[in-house]
């Protein structure tokens, strides 16, 4: 094996597995080339994070991921002065590190973050590509490989929690959903290490549950839950027991709803 072969193999080994839903990898790669920030919309557990991990590896960029929550402020992203014995030192936050290194910065569930965070995102997400650091007076230009990627789950949003149009319109949007059955089957078989028949049953269950109306469930079964059920099966748990724990009881706390879901499961498995 010559040197380039071994490099190729190494890249393959380090690229997390991702089954494409339809054209999103090419779109993302072009957005990266064109230095356009990307917004990924989609329900929980449908592959958004895995996609970004996969693309970062393919594009050869480091990935810095921040899970946003309602207490996350601009300083959590940008950085802060820390007290030391000798006084104070500046410590870069994850966004600043990504800007300096030319990494891909992935802000997961960005609408959860406090409103002051959008102030730092705006100049980074347009042609300026700069990060102003108010505390130090610095203005950092993003290194060439820097890319801003944010995700959110439209299903969760209420009127108070949505992105302002001035923020949204700085991003190109990729719309994700649960994969088509044949793609989901490959994912479950690969990720859980189950045989095709088991993967088929799990995906069949997901299809049936996803047909239920939204009134029955706040959020329906994700690919992530199917993979978890599959892993239980692969480790020796019976399929119905695995589905009860990883799918039905994971989706609802309501006894009546759980019984209805169990009926659907019994018919499909
Ligand atoms: P999200 O970020 O949308 O909440 P994740 O990317 O964390 O979801 O996906 C959850 C899990 O589902 C992953 O860890 C992976 O096992 C599996 N998965 C979902 N979609 C895909 C896909 N298209 N290719 C490979 N694995 C996937």
**How confident is the model over 26-71, as pLDDT tens digits?**
999 999 999 999 999 999 999 999 999 999 999 999 999 999 999 9
Which distant-in-sequence residues (6+ apart) come within 8 Å of 223 by Cβ? 45, 46, 47, 178, 179, 184, 187, 188, 206
What is d(CA 128, CA 149) in angstroms, rounded to the nearest whole number?
Answer: 16
Which distant-in-sequence residues (6+ apart) come within 8 Å of 235 by Cβ? none
The pLDDT of residue 17 is above 50: yes
Q: Cα separations (Å) of 66 from 48, 49, 104?
A: 13, 11, 11
User: Is residue 50 in contact with ligand 1, taking CB distance under 6 Å?
Assistant: yes
User: Is residue 153 in contact with ligand 1, taking CB distance under 6 Å?
Assistant: no
What is d(CA 9, CA 198) in angstroms, rounded to the nearest whole number?
Answer: 31
User: Is residue 49 in contact with ligand 1, taking CB distance under 6 Å?
Assistant: yes
The pLDDT of residue 12 is above 70: no
Question: What does the pLDDT read at residue 213?
Answer: 67
Q: 127 C-alpha to center of ligand 1: Å?
A: 31
Shortest-distance Cα residue to atom 20 of ligand 1: 47
Q: 135 C-alpha to center of ligand 1: Å?
A: 38
User: Is residue 79 in contact with ligand 1, taking CB distance under 6 Å?
Assistant: no
User: Is residue 46 in contact with ligand 1, taking CB distance under 6 Å?
Assistant: yes
Q: 188 C-alpha to center of ligand 1: Å?
A: 10
The pLDDT of residue 82 is above 90: yes
In terms of average pLDDT, the best of 51-60, 78-87, 111-120 is: 51-60
What is the distance, to the nearest Å, from the Cα of residue 12 to the centroid of all Cα atoms in its chain? Answer: 21
* pLDDT 10s digits, 187-228: 999 999 999 999 999 999 999 999 886 656 778 999 999 999
User: Is residue 174 in contact with ligand 1, taking CB distance under 6 Å?
Assistant: no
Nearest ligand 1 atom to alpha carbon 179: 23
pLDDT, mean of residues 96-119:
93
Mean of pLDDT over the chain: 91
Shortest-distance Cα residue to atom 9 of ligand 1: 47
Nearest ligand 1 atom to alpha carbon 16: 25
Shortest-distance Cα residue to atom 21 of ligand 1: 47
CA angle 72, 152, 179 (to 5 degrees): 145
Least confident stretch, 31-35, 95-99, 257-261: 257-261
* Percent of the chain residues topping a pLDDT of 90: 78
* Percent of the chain residues topping a pLDDT of 70: 91
Task: Give the chain's end-to-end CA distance (angstroms, integer).
Answer: 47
Nearest ligand 1 atom to alpha carbon 191: 16
* Contact yes or no for 190/226 (Cβ under 8 A): no
Q: 82 C-alpha to center of ligand 1: Å?
A: 36
Q: What pTM was computed for the model? A: 0.92
Grade residue 163 by pLDDT with cuts at 50, 70 and 90.
confident
User: Is residue 227 in contact with ligand 1, taking CB distance under 6 Å?
Assistant: yes
Q: 18 C-alpha to center of ligand 1: Å?
A: 8
What is d(CA 95, CA 80) in angstroms, rounded to the nearest whole number?
Answer: 12
What is d(CA 209, CA 76) in angstroms, rounded to the nearest whole number?
Answer: 39
* Gyration radius (Cα) of the chain, Å: 21
The pLDDT of residue 8 is above 90: no
111 bridge partner residues: none
């Amino acid at each position: 094996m010559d040197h380039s072969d071994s490099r190729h193999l190494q890249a393959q080994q380090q690229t997390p597995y991702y089954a494409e839903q339809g054209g999103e990898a090419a779109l993302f790669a072009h957005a990266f080339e064109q230095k356009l920030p990307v917004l990924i919309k989609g329900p929980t557990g449908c592959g958004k994070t895995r996609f970004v991990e996969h693309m970062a590896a393919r594009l050869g960029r480091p990935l810095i991921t921040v899970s946003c929550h309602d207490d996350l402020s601009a300083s959590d992203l940008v950085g802060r002065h820390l007290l030391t014995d000798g006084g104070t030192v500046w410590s870069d936050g994850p966004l600043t590190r990504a800007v300096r290194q030319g990494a891909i910065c992935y802000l997961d569930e960005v609408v959860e973050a406090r409103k002051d965070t959008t102030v730092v995102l705006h100049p980074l997400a347009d042609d300026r590509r700069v990060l102003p650091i108010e505390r130090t007076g610095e203005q950092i230009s993003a290194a060439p490989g820097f890319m801003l990627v944010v995700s959110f789950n439209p299903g969760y949003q209420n009127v108070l929690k949505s992105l302002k149009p001035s923020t949204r319109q700085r991003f190109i949007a990729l719309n994700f959903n649960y994969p088509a059955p044949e793609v989901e089957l490959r994912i479950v078989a690969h990720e859980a290490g189950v045989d095709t028949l088991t993967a088929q049953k799990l995906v069949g269950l997901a299809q049936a549950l996803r047909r239920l109306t939204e009134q029955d469930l706040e959020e329906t079964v994700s690919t992530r839950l199917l993979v978890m059920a599959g892993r239980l099966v692969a480790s020796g748990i019976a399929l119905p027991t695995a589905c009860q724990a990883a799918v039905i009881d994971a989706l609802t706390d309501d006894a009546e709803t759980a019984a209805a879901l169990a009926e659907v499961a019994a018919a499909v498995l």
